[in-house]
């Protein structure tokens, strides 16, 4: 049943039905006219406000339970999950509903941002002031949530019973959402079952994967058949759901999350630990904050933006965990899920279509090889960044916006003087008071972002300024507030970061060529095949950008087009500000992707129509449907294969195994304070503990790898007495040297052999994953005796 009106005059009894209203077993409301014709209306739904009340009630229960468990330090089952649920719901859910925004999804986006922002701000302030107290913070946040609960319940009761719909109407509207009846419900459950099968196949693949054998091609060369079967099943579910007459948001959301699980967690689950060595650096930093309640601002720049580090230490304390490692493995999917509502909302607003919005989410997942969603400050900042822009984009699209006078191609010059109306449907526009509270809420989110990450606030300030220049917001001073907070924090809160290094920080200003060189040229080195794959990554991102340009051209006449183009382009301004250790180009692509992906979805859909329209059998529904599904399946499998290649390219040296973590913990626990620990490459989990207690150093020294033996002996001495107390070597370090520096196979084994040949080291651990050497006591004693003799003779 796809039409809005269906003639069912001929019944099995050959009689016309009397006028009235009937509801079928499928839940479809059927109005019978006086002439016996029956028309279908939207299905009768339960009052959606009940779900709102449940959400507020759950937040209220968590606001009571979590502080109580924290105070008593109760080892109750599920404490970790309750803590995470508290993090994303309190106080954001009651505060979000109290604002009574005229669309539920906007409320969800704002609630997530507020809930995350509250502890980031609170713990940053307490850590800076030296009054570290996680229990006080969790109690204060819970109290705010409980105080806002009555206002939230009252706002829900005053809202309309029908589901709010202040989102735009598509240029080509989706089919009216009618009841799918039993067939539709069965289709949903079949889709859920298929997703379950995909996850089972993926889990089987994690048991078969041996990521240690990955080479210059990365994961794609060693991915088991179960992995590809899982992606094939998910491609089938996504393709089928995207082509259904009625968009099933629940099934598509579940399938997208499952896609993120399969694409982002395969290696980590197979190895039993989160990859990427920076994750373990953060675990070590967080452990330092947890143990001391202080910030080591003079030791590392990241302590100058303490929101994430102190916030994670706060979570560790509230959840009753020994350290933050429990959060690391699932972090990429967790951050993706938190950003998903904002990503879909942006896609819905940019494309004007719920169907294309989901396609945009799938493209975002497939092109996200940047790996900036690991357990980090930038991943947290990205959630807040997309949330703020999604809310502002909705406020523009849901408002009456004055047309710009004059020639169309010059009208944008006058856009800065335009002020949109208040957002919301005609009967429920946001009042002036509610607009003020909304701006205050967004300001708090921006403040949390400022104290959390160095780079994301700069991008956000430029994006907020673009809203003003394009005449797309009533909050015309929000960008100024964000800039003032960033400058203020940088000047006073981050003095430990720039003191003595201001010349280095300002040296990149305006140096576009140098920034691009450090972000591209200097990073594409080493093994020739590996270099080619790095260029493939760049080309893959370039394809997304090209698709975004095509999509923008197709929607260029919509009023949101100017805003979308600017928000996709403004992150490129970072190239003129900072090289950020050579990663700034990756960050530019990351910040642009929430807008490039839906624009590319528009372009991809138009290309698909152009390709399929001339094909024969178009008038045969079954054949045409099969052709469309086949085209979508082929496209999705290609994108998933490219995701595997681009995101999994560095897996050979970024992977971290459970054994590596266990041996690193054992080494850190046994090493005395001030011990020197040598590593041959800066990858692996060694930084997870011992921050400010142990002294890591490179072995051999950088720049000496052309003559490993001679250089190493000069560093440690002929008897090894001058070397570090321990040497920690992993298979990932071996792969890093081969792929990034072009060293010969077995180069780490040569280093181990040289150290052992001095007689100053002995093997503590030797396995396929880890080798640990310890300097023997005799060599250390001889070295100390020699130094004492030399000192006396002098």
pLDDT the model gives residue 18: 36
pLDDT the model gives residue 164: 46
DSSP assignment of 425-444: -TTSPPPHHHHHHHHHHHHH
Closest by Cα among 595, 636, 598 to 241: 636
- Tell me if 410 sits within 8 A of 436, measured CB to CB: no
HSE toward the beta carbon, residue 549, CA cutoff 13 A? 5
Peptide bond into 620 cis (omega under 30): no
d(Cα 261, Cα 240) in Å, to the nearest integer? 20
- Tell me if 502 sits within 8 A of 567, measured CB to CB: no
d(Cα 126, Cα 303) in Å, to the nearest integer? 14
Cβ burial, residue 58 (10 Å; 0-12/13-18/19+): middle
Report the SS3 class of residue 32: strand
Closest by Cα among 86, 108, 151 to 383: 108
Return all residues near 520 (Cβ < 8 A) that are at least 6 apart. Answer: 538, 585
pLDDT the model gives residue 446: 98
pLDDT the model gives residue 176: 45
Instruction: 47-51: list long-range contacts, CB under 8 Å, 24+ apart.
Output: 47/161, 48/104, 48/161, 48/162, 48/163, 49/156, 49/157, 49/159, 49/161
Query: Could you tell me the two tokens for 217?
Result: 């091609």
d(Cα 775, Cα 722) in Å, to the nearest integer? 10
pLDDT the model gives residue 407: 65
d(Cα 701, Cα 491) in Å, to the nearest integer? 36
Closest by Cα among 130, 139, 122 to 447: 122
- Tell me if 100 sits within 8 A of 155, measured CB to CB: yes
Peptide bond into 700 cis (omega under 30): yes
Report the SS3 class of residue 9: coil
Closest by Cα among 660, 710, 659, 658 to 681: 660
Closest by Cα among 351, 401, 42, 343 to 172: 351
Q: How open is the CA angle 778-782-783, to the nearest 5 degrees? A: 120
d(Cα 667, Cα 661) in Å, to the nearest integer? 10
**Helix or strand holding residue 22 (H, E):** strand 20-23
pLDDT the model gives residue 778: 59
Instruction: 494-499: list long-range contacts, CB under 8 Å, 24+ apart.
Output: 494/301, 494/304, 494/305, 494/454, 495/297, 495/304, 496/297, 496/298, 496/301, 496/303, 496/304, 497/297, 497/301, 497/304, 497/305, 497/454
HSE toward the beta carbon, residue 378, CA cutoff 13 A? 20
pLDDT the model gives residue 581: 55
Residue 535 to residues 100, 109, 371, 539, 597: CA-CA distances in angstroms?
48, 36, 17, 6, 20
679 forms beta bridges with 698, 728
d(Cα 531, Cα 375) in Å, to the nearest integer? 27
Go through 334-345 and write b for each residue having 16 or more CB atoms within 10 A of its CB, e for each that does not: bbbbbbbbbbbb
Query: Could you tell me the two tokens for 430?
Result: 């946001």
| Maximum alpha-carbon separation in the chain | 120
**C-alpha torsion angle, residues 711, 677, 683, 574 (rounded to 10):** -90
Closest by Cα among 689, 755, 748 to 724: 755
- Tell me if 527 sits within 8 A of 742, measured CB to CB: yes
d(Cα 156, Cα 195) in Å, to the nearest integer? 34
Query: Could you tell me the two tokens for 653?
Result: 């040296």
> Could you list the mean pLDDT of each consecutive 10-residue stretch along the chain, which spans 794 residues?
32 36 36 41 60 94 97 93 97 96 94 98 88 94 97 88 46 44 76 98 97 94 98 97 93 98 97 93 94 84 91 96 96 98 98 96 97 95 98 96 73 82 87 96 98 93 96 96 94 69 53 51 72 94 97 94 95 74 82 98 94 69 83 96 97 96 93 90 86 80 73 89 94 93 89 93 94 80 45 38
Other CB atoms within a 10 A radius of the CB of residue 134 amount to 21
Q: Which residue, chain included where needed, has tokens 């989706």?
A: 174
Closest by Cα among 490, 444, 453, 495 to 311: 453
Alpha helices in 352-431, H assignment, sequence order: 354-367, 377-397
DSSP assignment of 715-776: HH-TTSTTS-SEEEEEHHHHHHHHHHH-PPTTHHHHHHHHHHHTTSEEEEEESSSEEEEEE-
pLDDT the model gives residue 163: 43
**C-alpha torsion angle, residues 325, 586, 465, 384 (rounded to 10):** -20
């Amino acid at each position: 049943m796809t039409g809005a009106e269906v003639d069912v005059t001929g019944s099995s009894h050959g009689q016309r039905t009397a006028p009235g209203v009937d509801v079928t077993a499928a839940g479809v409301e059927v109005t019978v006219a006086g002439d016996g014709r029956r028309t279908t209306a939207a299905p009768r739904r339960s009052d959606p406000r009940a779900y709102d009340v449940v959400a507020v009630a759950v937040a209220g229960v968590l606001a009571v339970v979590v502080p109580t468990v924290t105070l008593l330090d109760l080892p109750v089952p599920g404490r970790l999950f309750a803590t995470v649920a508290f993090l994303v719901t309190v106080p954001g859910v009651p505060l979000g509903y109290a604002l009574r925004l005229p669309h539920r999804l906007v409320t969800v986006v704002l609630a997530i941002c507020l809930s995350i922002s509250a502890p980031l701000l609170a713990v940053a302030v307490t850590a800076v002031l030296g009054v570290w107290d996680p229990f006080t913070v969790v109690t204060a946040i819970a109290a705010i949530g409980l105080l806002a609960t009555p206002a939230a319940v009252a706002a829900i009761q005053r809202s309309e019973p029908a589901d709010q719909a202040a989102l735009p109407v598509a240029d080509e509207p989706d089919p009216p959402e009618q009841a799918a009846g039993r067939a539709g419900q069965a289709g949903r459950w079949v889709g859920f079952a298929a997703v379950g099968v995909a996850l089972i196949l993926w889990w089987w693949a994690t048991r078969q994967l041996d990521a240690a054998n990955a080479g210059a091609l990365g994961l794609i060369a060693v991915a088991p058949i179960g992995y590809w079967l899982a992606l094939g099943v998910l491609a089938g579910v996504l393709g089928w759901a995207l082509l259904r007459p009625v968009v099933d948001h629940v099934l598509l959301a579940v399938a997208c999350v499952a896609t993120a699980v399969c694409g982002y967690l395969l290696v980590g689950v197979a190895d039993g630990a989160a990859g990427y060595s920076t994750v373990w650096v953060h675990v070590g930093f967080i452990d330092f904050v947890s143990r001391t309640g202080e910030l080591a601002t003079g030791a590392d720049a990241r302590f100058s933006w303490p929101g994430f580090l102190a916030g994670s230490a706060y979570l560790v304390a509230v959840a009753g965990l020994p350290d933050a490692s429990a959060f690391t493995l699932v972090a990429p999917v967790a951050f993706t899920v938190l950003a998903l509502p904002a990503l879909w909302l942006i896609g819905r607003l940019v494309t004007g279509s719920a169907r294309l919005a989901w396609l945009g989410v799938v493209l975002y997942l497939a092109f996200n090889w940047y790996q900036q969603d690991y357990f980090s400050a930038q991943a947290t900042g990205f959630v807040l960044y997309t949330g703020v822009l999604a809310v502002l984009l909705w406020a523009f699209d849901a408002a009456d916006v004055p047309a710009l006078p004059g020639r169309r191609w010059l009208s944008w010059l006058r856009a800065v003087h335009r002020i949109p109306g208040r957002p919301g449907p005609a009967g429920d526009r946001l009042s002036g008071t509610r607009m003020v509270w909304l701006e205050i809420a967004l300001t708090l989110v921006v403040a949390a972002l400022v104290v959390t990450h160095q780079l994301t606030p700069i991008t956000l300030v430029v994006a907020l300024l673009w809203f003003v220049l394009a005449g797309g917001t009533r909050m015309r001073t929000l960008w100024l507030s964000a800039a003032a907070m960033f400058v203020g924090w940088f000047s006073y809160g981050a003095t430990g970061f720039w003191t003595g290094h201001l010349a280095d920080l300002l040296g990149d200003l305006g140096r576009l060529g140098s920034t691009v060189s450090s972000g591209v040229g200097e990073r594409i080195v080493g093994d020739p095949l590996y270099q080619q794959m790095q260029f493939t990554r760049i080309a893959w991102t370039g394809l997304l950008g090209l698709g975004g340009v095509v999509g923008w051209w197709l929607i260029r006449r919509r009023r949101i087009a100017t805003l979308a183009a600017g928000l996709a382009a403004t992150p490129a301004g970072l190239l003129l500000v900072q090289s950020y250790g050579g990663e700034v180009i990756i960050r530019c692509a990351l910040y642009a992707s929430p807008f490039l992906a839906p624009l590319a979805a528009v372009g991809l859909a138009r290309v698909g129509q152009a390709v399929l329209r001339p094909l024969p059998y178009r008038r045969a529904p079954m054949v045409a449907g099969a052709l469309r599904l086949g085209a979508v399946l082929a496209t999705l499998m290609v994108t998933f294969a490219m995701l595997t290649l681009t995101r999994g390219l560095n897996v050979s040296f970024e992977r971290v195994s459970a054994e590596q973590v266990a041996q690193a913990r054992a080494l850190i626990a046994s090493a005395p304070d001030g011990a020197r620990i040598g590593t041959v490459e800066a990858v692996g989990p060694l930084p997870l503990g011992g921050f400010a207690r142990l002294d890591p150093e490179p072995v051999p020294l950088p720049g000496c790898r052309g003559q490993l033996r001679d250089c190493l002996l000069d560093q440690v001495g002929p008897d090894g007495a001058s070397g570090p107390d321990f040497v920690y070597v992993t298979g990932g370090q071996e792969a890093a040297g081969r792929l990034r520096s072009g060293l010969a196979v077995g180069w780490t084994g040569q280093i181990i052999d040289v150290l052992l040949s001095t007689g100053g080291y002995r093997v503590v651990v030797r396995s396929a994953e880890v080798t640990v050497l310890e300097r023997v006591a005799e060599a250390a004693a001889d070295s100390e005796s020699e130094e004492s003799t030399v000192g006396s003779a002098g």
